[in-house]
Amino acid sequence: MSRSAYSETTCPEPGPGPCGGQGSWRVLIVDDETDVHDATRLALRGLAIEGGSLELLHAYSAREAHEILVAQRDVAVILLDVVMECEDAGLRLVGVIRNELENGAVRIILRTSQPDLVPQIDTIRGYDINDYMTKSELTRIGLFTSLSVAIRSYRQIRELEAAKRGLEEQEQELIRSRGKLRALTAHRERVREEERTHIARELHDEMGQYLTALRMEASMLAMLLPEPDGQIAQHLSTMRELIDHAIGETRRVISRLRPVALDLGLISAAEWLAGDFAARTGIPCDLEAPPEEALELDTEVATTLFRILQESLTNVSRHARARRVDIRIRQNGDMLALEVSDDGHGFDPAEVREKKTFGLMGIRERVLLYGGSVRIDSQVGAGTRLRISLPLSALEGTS
């Protein structure tokens, strides 16, 4: 590269302004004729374009130009000769710039002294070239006009690229934030389940024992009074009824916090939940599921699916006005499917999305934690169907 000359100062990151804000636009002149370099330098002397002076770089072959473009990433415009080492050396260099170097920002003005050798229209159509001029057109006015348009275009492209990078960085940050939020949600759910389990055991072990002891004491008191009068007998009967009611309510609270059936597996817990739902609401609830041993799910995943089913049935009881509910749990290949459908009055999914209901959002977030998908099909007057798919590979990875 004995004849090529270019500044050794480079911009660390190409920017939308002159040389990344250094006050000049880099213009690479690629031509195998020294006279063309000299004439171009003379024609451009003292010109300022788009708020910056011109810094000229010189290459006398396609190979030298390639080396400069590898080193200098902020060249704004290339004045490129077509015929150098061979008749299409310039066109080949265009392909290298756009494809190999992946530089779509630099503006390329093709120059030739033999316009008939390379047809202008075909060349612009077949190559990513921004302008095509004969060397006889490269007067000071002609160069100023072409470079002004090219540099303005280069700056706009760089501004768009900078905006795109900013958006991509924001998108990545948003993805990272969502990942952190989901991890936090997963941690919160685990802590919540642990707390529910702890409270359920405390209620069972402590409150249950106290209530049972009270029931026994009330019965013993009735036995110790040989002939209680009517008022005392009524009070004792009321006391036993209240204690029995408290025991029943405590058992229901314990079951809602963490049903004992959940310790036996998802299917057992789903059977209990369906029966409890039917008993509380009077709405028939049919469950279709494989045998418990057919599903190998760890406690955390089984609990998550149980909570999703529990939330779904709660939504049905509150909003659906259904006459029947069907629950289906199936294994389809490497996917686990949970489906809850009702024949209620349904809803408009678009309207619900606008309301951002936390019940459905919570279900989606729980499913997304395991790489699954949620689909809700509903129409006003046509019931609702919730379908959840979870990859078994992801579930096994959580064990």
- Is the per-residue pLDDT at 322 higher than 80? yes
Query: How far apart are the C-alpha atoms of 334 and 381, rounded to whole Å?
Result: 34
Question: Is residue 309 packed enough to be buried (19+ CB in 10 Å), middle (13-18) or exposed (0-12)?
Answer: buried
CATH number among 3.90.950.10, 3.90.1150.10, 3.40.50.300, 3.30.565.10, domain 261-399:
3.30.565.10
Using DSSP, state whether 85 is helix, strand or coil: coil
Question: Are 367 and 388 within 8 A, CB to CB?
Answer: yes
Report which secondary-structure segment, H or E, holds 171: helix 140-202
Query: How far apart are the C-alpha atoms of 288 and 369, rounded to whole Å?
Result: 25
Q: What is the pLDDT of residues 75-133, one digit of tens each?
A: 999 999 988 888 888 888 998 998 899 898 999 998 877 656 555 555 666 667 877 77
Query: Is the domain defined by 18-168 classed in CATH 3.40.50.150?
Result: no
Question: Are 154 and 105 within 8 A, CB to CB?
Answer: yes
Question: Are 53 and 24 within 8 A, CB to CB?
Answer: yes
Nearest partner of 304 among 185, 204, 206, 213, judged by Cα: 185
**Band of the pLDDT at 14, cuts 50, 70, 90?**
low
**Band of the pLDDT at 18, cuts 50, 70, 90?**
low
Q: At what angle do helices 230-257 and 208-224 cross, to 10 degrees?
A: 160
Q: What is the pLDDT of residues 344-393, one digit of tens each?
A: 988 887 776 666 566 677 788 888 888 889 998 998 888 999 999 988 76
Lowest mean pLDDT among 64-73, 183-192, 235-244: 183-192
Q: Could you give the C-alpha distances from 294 to 12, 270, 331, 336, 337, in angstroms and in order?
A: 60, 15, 9, 11, 14
Pairing of strands 107-112, 384-391: unpaired
Question: Is residue 129 packed enough to be buried (19+ CB in 10 Å), middle (13-18) or exposed (0-12)?
Answer: buried
Q: What is the pLDDT of residues 183-206, one digit of tens each?
A: 787 778 778 878 888 888 888 888
Would you list the domain boundaries of the chain? 18-168, 261-399
Considering the chain, what is the average pLDDT of its residues? 83
Q: What is the pLDDT of residues 151-170, one digit of tens each?
A: 999 999 999 999 999 999 99
Query: How far apart are the C-alpha atoms of 250 and 214, rounded to whole Å?
Result: 14
At a CB cut-off of 8 Å and minimum separation 6, what does 362 contact? 311
CA 317, distance to chain mean position in Å, is: 33
Higher pLDDT, residue 70 or 111:
70
What pLDDT is stored for residue 116 in this prediction? Answer: 60
18-168 and 261-399 in the same fold: no
What pLDDT is stored for residue 10 in this prediction? Answer: 36
